[in-house]
A and B are shown apart, each in its own frame.
Chain A
């Protein structure tokens, strides 16, 4: 029995109707997400924009909301990030390269791999507790920039390791074979080929890790960052030889999210505006880092195509 053209058209219309329903649901889901984010950001901007000024960046926190600023917070965040990067980048990239290029593939390296993946999902406060026990009490680093930076480095280490491994895995085996066939050693292959060809992916991973670290509060509170700091750590750069100074590593500190947390928890409305303003600054810092990551990825993808 052959269906008539009429029936066929009816069936097509029905199928197209289902298609439209899904398109509609998808559209609503996307819109809800975007609108919520936009509202959040606009609300933050409306509250905070009035407080953002040059003085906001150059003032210490204060009892008077109009005079309070984020100088100690943003300087603290930058210093902590330097420590985090200095610790997480060599350790993470080194471990990633070792696991991917050098380590034999056996049950033990598989176990390590699984556990690195698990570590990436461990709640950040756990890293805070680890850092408290290890760096504050055991190594006696105190409640310092060094401790905060190392705590965050632990937190993002799995992210950096995984990003490094992903990036290295994307390099076709034919490149390794070409290098080895010319008589290169493993290290020559790694330094002349593996690292240069995966550097885009590795940098992207590092920045994504860093932009996660910059907003973390829990581990920083756990290791005992202060909430009210009206002085800066000693400057890392000196006018006299040897020009560098590492006393800042041991200085007490605060960071942006803690400063925000401190302001939000006060009863006065005016402090809440400060928190919103600091929120904008933190958000912009994060967005800039993500933009940089996207730019780097784009640039290296364009340069190297397999």
Chain B
């Protein structure tokens, strides 16, 4: 393995190189350089409006859904080194390899089973046996199987908020993504549901790469291996979570994590 695809002696899964992003005339991300280690949890922290969610949403091209958004620079995904924000790359291809879990649980108004199966159906997978198997596997992966195995065909809206969020995680897992993006996944959940989702994230990093945006610094400290601190569209500091939280090199980082602003 060449050195350019390594960081802290680990394989890197994705890498932003001089990434700029614009909402119309507004320059939201300013020249980010950033590496995501494979099968690790990387947390993005920073005050509201710093661009962490904007950055996250670049990874599955969510910005393409709205007009006047523009990417510059690149985000390379390894091992094949495709530029996922490149004009020549189909956003659908990117989204099939990189899944996302949103801030507010957003299950479809369909049954639990259909929610999980949807990603497979989109891919044209038909056989009932295959779908049954993948649905079970994903629900187990999201630590939800035991709670819902007897009511797979009930409406997803009958579940609690925490269950709905884990359902969204199962839905994202069903298609075997290489990277899973979490956009403040617990900000709408109570503490118990939050701790379940956190345990799940730690469990999931055994099989895939995780990138998570969080407002909650304790959460970043608890579950992430690496932490990036962003401020007004720039990456201020990046390092392993322990170092960032105990011995940050930048004054701004220190002020933020000690709660002096943000």
Q: State the A residues within 8 Å of B (CB).
A: 104-105, 172, 174-185, 188, 192-193, 197, 303-305
A182 touches B95 (CB 8 A): yes
Check: B171 CB closer than 8 A to any chain A CB: yes
List which B18-75 residues lie within 8 A (CB) of chain A. Answer: 60, 62, 65, 67
Say how far A13's CB is from chain B's closest CB, in angstroms: 49
B106 touches A177 (CB 8 A): yes
Given contacts A104-B67, A177-B65, contact A183 B106 (CB under 8 A): no
Name B102's contact: one of A174, A188, A303, A304 (CB within 8 Å). A174
Inter-chain CA distance A179–B100, complex, in Å, is 10
B60 touches A181 (CB 8 A): yes
Inter-chain CA distance A165–B209, complex, in Å, is 40
B65 touches A184 (CB 8 A): no
Check: B108 CB closer than 8 A to any chain A CB: yes
Q: How many A-B residue pairs have CB under 8 A?
A: 60
Contacts of B157 in A (CB 8 A): 305
Contact with A along B89-122 (1 / 0, CB 8 A): 0001001100110101011110000000011011
Given contacts A175-B108, A303-B109, contact A182 B119 (CB under 8 A): yes
Say how far A120's CB is from chain B's closest CB, in angstroms: 27
A304 touches B109 (CB 8 A): yes
4 extra interface residue pairs, beta carbon distance < 8 Å, beyond A183-B123, A183-B175: A172-B106, A177-B62, A184-B122, A305-B109
Q: How many interface residues does B have (CB within 8 Å)?
A: 25
Closest 6 CB pairs of A and B: A183-B96, A174-B106, A182-B119, A183-B95, A181-B100, A304-B109
Inter-chain CA distance A87–B13, complex, in Å, is 53
Contacts of B96 in A (CB 8 A): 183
Say how far B10's CB is from chain A's closest CB, in angstroms: 27
Contact with A along B160-191 (1 / 0, CB 8 A): 00000000100110010000000000000000
Contacts of A197 in B (CB 8 A): 109
Inter-chain CA distance A192–B109, complex, in Å, is 11
B65 touches A182 (CB 8 A): no
Contacts of B100 in A (CB 8 A): 181
Inter-chain CA distance A193–B109, complex, in Å, is 9
Name A175's contact: one of B62, B92, B106 (CB within 8 Å). B106
Name A180's contact: one of B95, B104, B109, B175 (CB within 8 Å). B95
